[in-house]
Structure 1
Amino acid sequence: MRIHNVTVIDGTDADPLAGAEVAVTGGRFSAVRPAGSIDRAVDDGPVIDGRGGYLVPGLWESHTHLTGQATLRPEGERLGVVSRQLADFLAVGVTSVVDLGGPLDLELGVREFRAKATDPAAELFFAGPVFTGIQGWPVMDSAERASLAYQTDNADEAYRQALALADQVDFLKCIYDGEPDAPDKLPFDALKAVIAAAHEKGKKVLVHVHHRTELVEAVEAGADGIEHAFLPDEPSSTAEAVDVAALLADTGTYFCPTLVTWEQLARNGEDAYLQELVDDGFATAAGAVQVAARPFYGRAFPRHSAEESRIRFDYAMETLALTHEAGVKIVAGSDIALLLPSPPPALLRELWLLAKAGLPLPAVLAAATRHAAGKIGEGAGAGTITVGAVADALLLDADPLSDITHLVDRSHHVGTLRRGQPSWS
């Protein structure tokens, strides 16, 4: 198959290639060249018109919790619920979804379910249960959440569990959040043990942090990625961000700030915020009414106060540009859709916020493509339109490097390419 009449923005640092043809063979990109130069002996399939648009790599949602949320539904509905959400993600240009913690049996079940399904949907990558302290987040005192985590205060036990889990999942995740030496905080030696075990198996480890100290310790332990913008000790100074950026850049550690998480937790209960989401195109008026009717609308989140969340959001928005300028690999992930109609728009909102925080638009695209793939250890070329990469892409009718709305406003989405199958005719 060939796609012609298209400008390719391949997700690397290369300049856009106007008037390009893209060949797909066996569900992977086999050539990306100027029009008329593709070897017809290699690519003799149908020709698809790119409509003069812009072909970018398929987007990645690199931090969400579909399977964990599905446990709130009756058991017989869970596979179907997650499968439909993966289809909804594909409908907004997201071809890969990274689930950062859920019941292993459900995640494995979703993968098996999707392998037999015939409808198109985003691909799911998952961590299985997270590692946390005794009654640590997200379990706390809820027996219903026990399947979401391995609770441990023992490094040897954590190491054995991580070795076994690594054979069944795509990457591992640790929650490193809590007061020092408190029972609900994963001990530092257990954190190191999980990372050592995962690395022995060739798997990456992502670490959820709260304060700057936890971020620094997680990097020291060998974390491959840091999840969430940290709570600074001195919000009025950028000095902590400068130090953290240097550390992350020097170690090559990925950073997923989840800006939209802190925005939602900071403004939960504000009708003005819902109207802002409507005005910005991330919700409809009817959707905002439905959000306001949710039981948790306006209620305090159990782990992070609105005040703390606002500090984390404001600080991240102020310092993210300097973090990028330091050379940090920033990744796009939304985590929650507390005040968004559904999870897919939350990722689009995150991209909009990254641009608003001052990231250049090529960096925003990289955050939602190649950096997201790299964070979980996908091979070279993943999240790009390059020879050998999985043929996942999003076709737009306007240049996403000139205006962020061209990427996040669905009216500019022509269709998706999922493993070489186009959704447009």
Structure 2
Amino acid sequence: MIIRNVTVIDGLETAPIADAEVVVTDGRFSAIRPAADAPPSTGDGAVFNARGGYLVPGLWESHTHLGGHAYAKPENERTKYVSQLLTDFLDVGVTNVVDLGGPLEVELAARDYRGKATDAAAELFFAGPVFTGVKGWPVLDDPARAPIAYQTDNPDVAYRQVLELADQVDFIKCIYDGEPGAPDKLSLDALKAIVAAAHEKGKKVLVHVHERIDVEEAVASGADGIEHAFRPQDPGSTAEARDVAALLAETNTYYCPTLVTWEQIAHNGEAGYLRQLVDDGFATHDDIPQITGRPIYGREFPRHSARDSHVRFDYAMRTLALMHDVGVKITAGSDVAMLMPSPPVALLRELLLLAKAGLPLPAVLAAGTRHAAQKIGKQATAPGTITVGSVADALLLDADPYADIAHLIDRSHHIGTLRAGRPNWDEGHPRA
């Protein structure tokens, strides 16, 4: 397939290629060049005229929990539920979804189901059960949640569990959240053992944190990615953020702040927040009754208070730009969708918040594409970019995403997607 009359934004923060020709062969980009350099057409293969559109890498959701959501469904519905979510993600331009923890059997079944399906959907990468302390987050005192985590206080046991799990999953996830020394917090020795075992098997390790000290100890243990914006000791000072930024940049550790998580928990139960989502185009008036009817609506979120979430959200919004400026590789992940119409919409909201936090638009696109792929160790074939040899995942827009974040996240600007070279274009979409 050949795509013509298109501007290519390759996701590497290089200058866009205007009036380009893009060739896709066997599910990968095989040529990307100015139209003036293209050889004469042989008439072989389909040709799509993008009519001045913008081709960007397909988006990545780098932190969600589809398997965990599915576990609330009847057992015979879980696989199809995850599959439908992956279809829904593709419908908003997300070509790859990274699940940060859930029941292994659900995620394996979903991957097997998608491997046999004929319809298009986002690809799923997953961690399986997370590693946490005894009765640690997210299990706590609920035995029904036990399948989503390994609860351990023994480094040797954790090491062996990682070796057994690693061949079945794409990466390893740890919860390093709680009071130091408390049984519900993973011990530092266990965290080090988990990282060592994962790296022995060639797998990345992503670590959920709460405080600055959690970040520092996770990085010292060899973590490849930090999940969630940390809570500062002094919200009025940017000193902690500067110290953490220097550490993450020096060690090339990825940072996924999940801004939309803290925004939602901070404003749970507030009608004004839902009105803001409607005004911003992330929900409709018809979505509101469904959102307010959820059991979690207006109730305290376990482990994370509204006040704590306000602090984490506000501090991250003030300091993410300085983190970017010193070279921290930021990724876009939404985690929860408790006040959003759907998980895919939560990821689009996260991209908007990254822009509002002061990240330049090329950096926002990198957060939602190549950095997410690199975070889980998938950079060998350059996914999340439009480069020769990379998997042909892309989103075609009718306007320049570097001119306005709305051009990337507003679905009215989406012409269609490529998923592993398979096109899903809206031929009747009006072009700018």
Provide the TM-score with structure 2 as the length reference. Answer: 0.97
Cα pair 1:58 1:93 within 8 Å, conserved: yes
Aligned residues: 425
**Is the aligned partner of 1:274 residue 2:274?**
yes
Query: 1: distance between equivalents of 2:173 and 2:43?
Result: 41
Query: 2: distance between equivalents of 1:388 and 1:114?
Result: 24
User: What is the CA deviation profile of residues 327-382 of structure 1, one whole-angstrom value per residue up to 9, with x for unaligned ones?
Assistant: 00000000000100110000000000000000000000000000000000002311
User: What is the CA deviation profile of residues 103-149 of structure 1, one whole-angstrom value per residue up to 9, with x for unaligned ones?
Assistant: 11111110000000011100000001000000111111111111000
Letter in 2 for 1:156: D
Alignment of 1:247-326 (within 5 A): 247-326=247-326
Q: Residue 220 of structure 1 aligns with which residue? A: 220
**Is the aligned partner of 1:197 residue 2:187?**
no
User: What is the CA deviation profile of residues 262-300 of structure 1, one whole-angstrom value per residue up to 9, with x for unaligned ones?
Assistant: 000000000000000000000011102221122211100
Cα pair 1:23 1:43 within 8 Å, conserved: no
**C-alpha spacing 1:42/1:419, structure 2 compared with 1 (3 Å):** farther
Q: Residue 406 of structure 1 aligns with which residue? A: 407
Q: Residue 56 of structure 2 aligns with which residue? A: 56
Query: 1: distance between equivalents of 2:115 and 2:61?
Result: 20
Query: 1: distance between equivalents of 2:139 and 2:131?
Result: 10
Alignment of 1:136-155 (within 5 A): 136-155=136-155
**Is the aligned partner of 1:74 residue 2:74?**
yes
Letter in 1 for 2:362: P
Cα pair 2:5 2:49 within 8 Å, conserved: yes
Structure 1 residue 39 displacement after superposition: 4.8
Q: Residue 396 of structure 2 aligns with which residue? A: 395
Where does the alignment leave 5 or more consecutive residues of structure 1 unmatched?
none
Q: Residue 417 of structure 1 aligns with which residue? A: 418
Q: Residue 5 of structure 1 aligns with which residue? A: 5
User: What is the CA deviation profile of residues 211-270 of structure 1, one whole-angstrom value per residue up to 9, with x for unaligned ones?
Assistant: 000011000000000000000000000000000000000000000000000000000000
Q: Residue 387 of structure 2 aligns with which residue? A: 386
User: What is the CA deviation profile of residues 376-398 of structure 1, one whole-angstrom value per residue up to 9, with x for unaligned ones?
Assistant: 00023111000110000000000
Structure 1 residue 38 displacement after superposition: 3.6
Identity %: 71
**Is the aligned partner of 1:209 residue 2:209?**
yes
Three-state SS of the structure 2 residue aligned to 1:223 is coil
Q: Residue 91 of structure 1 aligns with which residue? A: 91
Query: 1: distance between equivalents of 2:352 and 2:156?
Result: 43
Cα pair 2:130 2:174 within 8 Å, conserved: yes
Cα pair 1:25 1:43 within 8 Å, conserved: no
Q: Residue 117 of structure 2 aligns with which residue? A: 117
Cα pair 2:13 2:363 within 8 Å, conserved: no
Alignment of 1:109-188 (within 5 A): 109-188=109-188
Letter in 1 for 2:163: L
Query: 1: distance between equivalents of 2:46 and 2:293?
Result: 49
Structure 1 residue 44 displacement after superposition: 3.3
**What is the CA RMSD across the aligned residues, in angstroms?**
1.1
Structure 1 residue 13 displacement after superposition: 2.3
Structure 1 residue 36 displacement after superposition: 4.6
Letter in 2 for 1:385: I
Query: 1: distance between equivalents of 2:275 and 2:55?
Result: 32
